[in-house]
Amino acid sequence: EVQLVESGGGLVQPGRSLRLSCAASGFTFDDYAMHWVRQAPGKGLEWVSGIIWSSIAIGYADSVKGRFTISRDNAKNSLYLEMNSLRAEDTALYFCAGAREGMELWSNFDYWGQGTLVTVSS
């Protein structure tokens, strides 16, 4: 069974940092590109960042570029998102998603985790 389990969310003050993790199981992790997608309360989906299987190609939404860093550890079947200089508008449920087209940065997302909630507030 495919599982993506996010962790690391919580309440953080504006300007502070947070690191999200996503543990993958049930599929060959290093065959997949991986992404972070967020959803603000009551709002739609917003792509945040993506990384192909080899980490050679990485992309960020303009709203987080320069503040967030995506990385992966294929040996640990894990995906990460380092979030710095957090703002109130970063408040959202952050989903980890896997894309079967491992060499493509832009593709559909086959698997999704249940999300971890990040709240940025003083």
115 binds other proteins (CB under 8 A): yes
41 binds other proteins (CB under 8 A): no
Up-side HSE of residue 105: CA atoms within 13 Å toward CB?
Answer: 14
Q: How many residues bind other proteins (CB under 8 A)?
A: 18
User: To the nearest whole angstrom, how small is the minimum distance from the Cβ of residue 41 to other proteins?
Assistant: 12
Please name the residues in contact with 3: beta carbons below 8 A apart, sequence gap of 6 or more: 23, 24, 25, 26, 113
For residue 2, give the DSSP letter: -
User: To the nearest whole angstrom, how small is the minimum distance from the Cβ of residue 115 to other proteins?
Assistant: 6
Q: Look up tokens 């003050």; give the residue.
A: 13
User: To the nearest whole angstrom, how small is the minimum distance from the Cβ of residue 44 to other proteins?
Assistant: 5
Tokens coding 37: 């997608």
59 binds other proteins (CB under 8 A): yes
27 binds other proteins (CB under 8 A): no
Dihedral sign for Cα atoms in the order 27, 32, 35, 39:
negative
113 binds other proteins (CB under 8 A): yes
95 binds other proteins (CB under 8 A): yes
41 class by beta-carbon count within 10 Å (0-12 exposed, 13-18 middle, 19+ buried): exposed
- Binding residues vs other proteins (CB under 8 A): 35, 37, 44-47, 50, 59, 95, 106-110, 112-115
